[in-house]
Structure 1
Amino acid sequence: MEVKINKEIRNYTESMFFGLSLRQCIFSVLALGVAVGIFFGLRSHLGTETVSWVCVLGAAPFAMMGFVTYHGMTAEQFVWAWIKSEILMPKHLTFRPTNIYHEAVRPLFENPKKEAMKRA
């Protein structure tokens, strides 16, 4: 008997339903609900093929949110971090280079006569 163990323990997810975690199940059901809502809402206005594509496009973001992780963050954590960094607390970063060597020898260039007199 072989027991499968993840190399990284933080990657472990408990399977709940059809091999999906609770989070993945919730977002899958949410995506299904959105697709059904779009279908029944638009089937009288658009053709069947068009409605099916709109259903897929409408459900895809919700289905994706259950499965995607980025830098160890879930999709909603990533979206919240992006909103905070880009909208709520934007920062204007400027780069000002400094030449440490030039700063160290600046007194030699500013007062060359004093240095020459000290040596003599």
Structure 2
Amino acid sequence: MEIKINKEIRNYTESMYFGLSLRQFIFSILACIFAVGFYFIFRPYFGLGTLSWLCILSASPFAVLGFITYNGMHAEQFIWVWIKSEILMPRQIKFESSNLYWECLKQTNKQKKEVTKHDKNTNNYE
């Protein structure tokens, strides 16, 4: 007997029906309902080839919502984060490099110029 154990315990999902998690099972049922409903509604208007593609397209959003995770987030969580970051709170990030050596060099050159300028001014008055 072999028991599969995930390396990361947070990745564990419990299989409920047909080896699917409850979330995947519910979204699979919704995808099937939409595809069948779409078939019966548009059967008089389209041929079988076109109608089958339309059924697949109508069921695909539910399949995506049920099965896809990205960075540990389910699809609707990822969509909400994307909307917030790109639409509600867009920002432009400007990169400016900083070179500590160059800054110190400029500062010492500036100090040297001030010292020489100060020395010239004091020599003229004496």
Matches within 5 A, 1:40-51: 40-51=40-51
Structure with the greater alpha carbon radius of gyration:
2
- Name the structure 1 match of 2:75: 75
Q: TM-score, normalised by structure 2?
A: 0.83
The residue number in structure 1 matching 2:124 is none
Cα offsets for 1:3-47 (capped at 9, x unmatched): 221111111111111111110011001111111121122111111
State the shift of 1:64 in Å. 2.1
User: Residue deviations 1:63-107, cap 9 Å, x none?
Assistant: 122111111111111111111110111111111222211211223
Alignment map for 1:1-120 (pairs within 5 Å): 1-113=1-113, 114=115
2:46 counterpart letter in structure 1: L
Q: Percent identity?
A: 58
SS at match of 1:5: coil
Aligned length: 117
Amino acid at match of 1:51: L
Gaps of 5+ in 1: none
Kindly provide the amino acid, as one letter, of the partner of residue 15 in structure 1: S
5+ residue gaps, structure 2: 120-126
TM-align CA RMSD: 1.8
- State the SS of the aligned residue for 1:95: coil
